[in-house]
């Protein structure tokens, strides 16, 4: 926990994690980057199976993200949920893992559109992100805050509620 979340309960943490995975299932887009690369993160579409374990990304061998990889790298992913009600920052390790079973598992028409030669495209690379830590912010507005917003009133900090949790994955 951080100083911002001294009273976050285990239940709050589980609820925030559940909200994150639900949001990611609904809108699976993350900004992914390598802090050591000192370059901007890139938008990527997350592929995952369940609410744990690795997050996979189809990538390009010629992208700066892939070219910046060594055998393993510290990586950061940022997420903004639909409606800006949930924000997350995830740290972990990013590796290249071109396991054909994983490439097949998540393959779809929308993925195929990016690769001229399909699964055999020489530019295709599978990136494996193993998350180790997450910080989640959930924004919520009180009833009074919603009324003020609806009628053009001035918002204050007490009109906002939300949760902020930080936990290992």
pLDDT band at 140 (very low <50, low <70, confident <90, very high): confident
User: CB–CB of 136/24 below 8 Å?
Assistant: no
pLDDT band at 38 (very low <50, low <70, confident <90, very high): confident
| pLDDT for position 72 | 65
Phi-psi group of 33: left, alpha or beta (phi > 0 → left; psi -120 to 50 → alpha; rest → beta): beta
The string of pLDDT tens digits covering residues 51-94 is 888 999 999 999 999 988 876 699 999 999 998 889 999 999 99
Backbone φ and ψ for 44, nearest 5 degrees, come out as -140, 150
Report whether pLDDT(1) > 50: no
The residue extents of the domains of the chain are 10-168
Chain mean pLDDT for the chain: 88
Question: HEC string of the chain?
Answer: CCCCCCCCCHHHHHHHHHHHHHHHHHCCEEEEECHHHCCCCEEEECECCCCCCCEEEEEECCCHHHHCCCCCEEEEEEEECHHHCEEEEEEEEEEECCCHHHHHHHCCHHHHCCCCCHHHCCCEEEEEEEEEEEEEEEEEECHHHHHHHHCCCCCCHHHEEEEEEEEEC
| pLDDT for position 3 | 40
pLDDT band at 154 (very low <50, low <70, confident <90, very high): confident
Report whether pLDDT(157) > 80: no
Residue 9 has which token pair?
A: 């309960």
| pLDDT for position 114 | 96
Q: What is the pTM of this model?
A: 0.83
What number does CATH give the domain 10-168? 2.30.110.10
Report whether pLDDT(142) > 90: no
% residues pLDDT > 90 (the chain): 66
């Amino acid at each position: 926990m951080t100083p911002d979340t001294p009273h976050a309960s285990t239940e709050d943490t589980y609820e925030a994690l559940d909200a994150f995975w639900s949001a990611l299932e609904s809108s699976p887009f993350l900004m992914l980057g390598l802090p050591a690369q000192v370059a901007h993160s890139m938008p990527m579409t997350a592929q995952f199976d369940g609410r744990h374990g690795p997050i996979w990304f189809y990538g390009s061998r010629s992208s700066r993200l892939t070219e910046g990889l060594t055998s393993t790298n510290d990586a950061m992913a940022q997420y903004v949920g639909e409606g800006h009600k949930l924000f997350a920052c995830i740290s972990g390790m990013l590796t290249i893992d071109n396991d054909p079973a994983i490439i097949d598992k998540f393959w779809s028409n929308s993925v195929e559109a990016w690769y001229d030669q399909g699964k055999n495209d020489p530019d295709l690379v599978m990136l494996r992100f193993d998350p180790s830590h997450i910080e989640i912010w959930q924004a919520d507005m009180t009833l009074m805050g919603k009324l003020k917003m609806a009628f053009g009133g001035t918002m204050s900090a007490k009109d906002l509620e939300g949760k902020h949790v930080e936990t290992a994955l």
